[in-house]
């Protein structure tokens, strides 16, 4: 199955370059349709460039705080000198939404 998702420029570039391999999302109805082996077409919100990735694994947690404890910050999109903080995700998804749906880490690999 093919899924379409939009990304801001920075995470798009990190995924495109193979640096960020875990995309973080709310596990809402749309993400609950994801399966290992599916294709995601990410669209850059700024340039409208598209990048295909294959879903390698799905990691489900109650909230981003739990998810952040299980992964190195670099594969989540943080630079080596940045402080990784699960609260960063609250600008996208409220604590209420996280409690309602849970969250998902989507492990991806760039494909052509």
In tens, the pLDDT along 12-38 reads: 999 999 999 999 999 999 999 999 999
Give me the residue spans of the domains in the chain: 2-110
> Cα(77)–Cα(68) distance, rounded to whole angstroms?
11
Report CA-CA distances (Å) from 38 to 22, 55, 96, 101. 15, 5, 28, 21
- For residue 47, name the pLDDT band (cuts at 50, 70, 90): very high
Model-level pTM?
Answer: 0.93
Report CA-CA distances (Å) from 57 to 9, 23, 45, 60, 81. 23, 11, 25, 10, 27
- Radius of gyration over every alpha carbon of the chain, rounded to an integer in angstroms: 13
- For residue 80, name the pLDDT band (cuts at 50, 70, 90): confident
Is the distance from CB of 50 to CB of 42 less than 8 angstroms? yes
The average confidence (pLDDT) of the chain is 95
**What is 2-110's CATH number?**
2.30.130.30
């Amino acid at each position: 199955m093919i899924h379409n998702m939009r990304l801001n420029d920075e995470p798009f570039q990190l995924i495109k370059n193979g640096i960020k391999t875990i995309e973080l999302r709310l596990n809402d109805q749309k993400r609950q349709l994801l399966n290992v082996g599916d294709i995601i077409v990410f669209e850059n919100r700024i340039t409208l460039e598209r990048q295909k990735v294959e879903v390698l694994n799905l990691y489900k947690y109650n909230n981003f705080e739990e998810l952040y404890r299980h992964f190195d910050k670099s594969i989540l999109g943080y630079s080596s000198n940045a402080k990784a903080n699960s609260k960063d995700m609250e600008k996208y998804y409220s604590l209420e939404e996280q409690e309602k749906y849970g969250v998902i880490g989507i492990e991806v690999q760039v494909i052509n």
